[in-house]
Amino acid sequence: MFRKLMDRFDRLMGRGVIDEQFYEELEDALLQADTHVQITQEILAELREAIKIEKITEAPDIKARLQLAIANRFRQGDAAGLAVNDNYPTVYMFVGVNGVGKTTSIAKLAYLLKTKFNQSVMLAAGDTFRAAAIEQLEVWGKRIGTDIVKSQPGADSATVLFDAITAAKARGAQFVLCDTAGRQHSKANLMAELDKVRRVTNKALGRDPDEVLLVIDANTGQNAIRQAEEFTKTAGVTGLILTKLDGTARGGALIGIYDRLKVPIKFIGVGEKVEDLRDFDPETFAAQLFS
Ligand SMILES: Nc1nc2c(ncn2[C@@H]2O[C@H](COP(=O)(O)OP(=O)(O)O)[C@@H](O)[C@H]2O)c(=O)[nH]1
Ligand SMILES: [Mg+2]
């Protein structure tokens, strides 16, 4: 993701001096990767200070220190993992705008829960907006071997989720993963509908969904942050899933996302296959940004 940034960094280091031009070009490179202006300033300030105090002079050390400065902005306290409720089923709702990877992420998580943790999973085809969306989830369900609760296209999404939770209770399924229709965060009525879905979930479950996971396409740059802000305000988002990190040059926007939203990143998506879901770990993540 930061290949370009690093190429530039290497060229800069080839000049052999750490001067104002070095910092200016580094600033430019960070901004081009869509890093927030203020975060860019923080990273540069940390790097300047470290170079001075720790007396760093060698290029590889400066590079490592830059990576650390970036990794430091991905730290999110002790927010790792997903909430699991002993009172079955644990319910996760997936929200986000169209095409970000909600349905694919549901398939990936279902696969992970099933294969790695040996849990029984129920899928809820809550994206009733298009017939293709229901079919897509069905195909994944068959492939992974999980039950699915669905309805007709155009049916009430909240009802599907209610039925899925009820069915999961009856069958003793441990997890319900709820798909929802893509929503533009700017449309107030759709956001209100999302709130209704949440309330219905509450009715069927006796509590809020255990996680409301906002799926964000890492390629959307600063717009990803705006989506996240809006959804966090309206949909009670508890965690983020960042997708398509396998092909983005704009991931800089994600640096410092926790500082701004206080919503932790739970998983990252690195491809289109069910195996392509990874835990989020700041250090590993920051290291990958440079590979
Ligand atoms: N390369 C890549 N593609 C992804 C990833 N996650 C989802 N996609 C693709 O993005 C497209 C939209 O995904 P989908 O799950 O249907 O999005 P939804 O509209 O939010 O449900 C599909 O072609 C997926 O295969 C990812 O992590 N990496
Ligand atoms: Mg979908």
- Average pLDDT for residues 30-48, to the nearest whole number? 90
C-alpha angle 232/101/179, rounded to 5°? 70
The two beta strands, 265-269 and 277-279, are antiparallel
Q: What is the pLDDT of residue 107?
A: 98
The rounded mean pLDDT for the chain is: 87
Q: Give the residue, by CA position, lying nearest to ligand 1 atom 6.
A: 101
Contact 243, 215 (CB under 8 A): yes
pLDDT at residue 20 greater than cutoff 80: yes
Q: Which residue has a Cα nearest atom 1 of ligand 1?
A: 271
Is 211 a pocket residue for ligand 1 (Cβ < 6 Å)?
Answer: no
Q: What is the pTM of this model?
A: 0.89
Closest of 178, 25, 21 to residue 91, by C-alpha = 178
- Out of 138, 194, 272, mutate this one to test ligand 1's pocket (max ligand atoms within 8 Å of CB): namely 272
Q: Write out pLDDT tens, residues 150-178.
A: 999 989 888 999 999 999 999 999 999 99
Which residues line ion ligand 2, judged by CB < 5 Å?
102-103, 133
Residues 209-265 pLDDT 10s: 999 999 999 888 888 888 888 888 877 889 999 999 887 666 777 888 888 888 899
Amino acid at 180: T
Task: Give the pLDDT of residue 213.
Answer: 95
Task: Check pLDDT > 60 for residue 194.
Answer: yes
> Which atom in ligand 1 lies closest to the alpha carbon of residue 98?
19
Q: Is the CB of 272 under 6 A from ligand 1?
A: yes
pLDDT given for residue 93 in this prediction? 93
pLDDT at site 233: 80
269 CB near ligand 1 (under 6 Å):
yes
